[in-house]
Amino acid sequence: MKTLTKAEEQVMQAVWKVKEGFIRDILEAMPAPKPHQNTVSTILKILVDKEFVGIRVYGRQHHYYPLVTKDAYSKSSIKNLVKGYFGGSFSDAVSFMVKENSLSVEELEILLTQLKKAKK
């Protein structure tokens, strides 16, 4: 899956939030400070080209909807991060987070318990 720039991700987050809508709906879903409508429009065109967003045209109005789910993109992004920075080792990534105090041992134990329950 293609990666997105920070600006593209911000617009994509708004598209996922509204599920489908016109540019004004997407702008309303974005946090402040909101980018200019022309900027969002340009980014949406890029997202359509990258096949992350679909478009329906009604005269001069464009109706946008996600083609890629947030879960699918998140999964791909995390895999790419782990592959790029930790040689594909998720255990190395988790070890790094524990060492950097981003993840406590207690939180890790809770995650392990949840994973064991989900596996059953």
The predicted-structure confidence for 37-63, as pLDDT tens digits, reads as follows 999 999 999 999 999 999 999 999 999
Map out the domains of the chain as residue ranges. 6-66, 70-119
Residue 2 has pLDDT above 80, yes or no: yes
Q: What was the pLDDT predicted at 111?
A: 86
- The mean per-residue pLDDT over the stretch 90-111 comes to 85
Residue 82 contacts residue 88 (beta carbons within 8 Å): yes
The per-residue pLDDT for 71 is 95
Best CA proximity match to 92, nearest among 100, 62, 36, 76: 100
pTM recorded for the entire structure:
0.81
6-66 topology per CATH: Arc Repressor Mutant, subunit A (1.10.10)
pLDDT, mean over the chain: 93
Q: Any idea what DSSP says for residue 2?
A: -
Which of 17-21, 91-95, 103-107 has maximum average pLDDT? 17-21
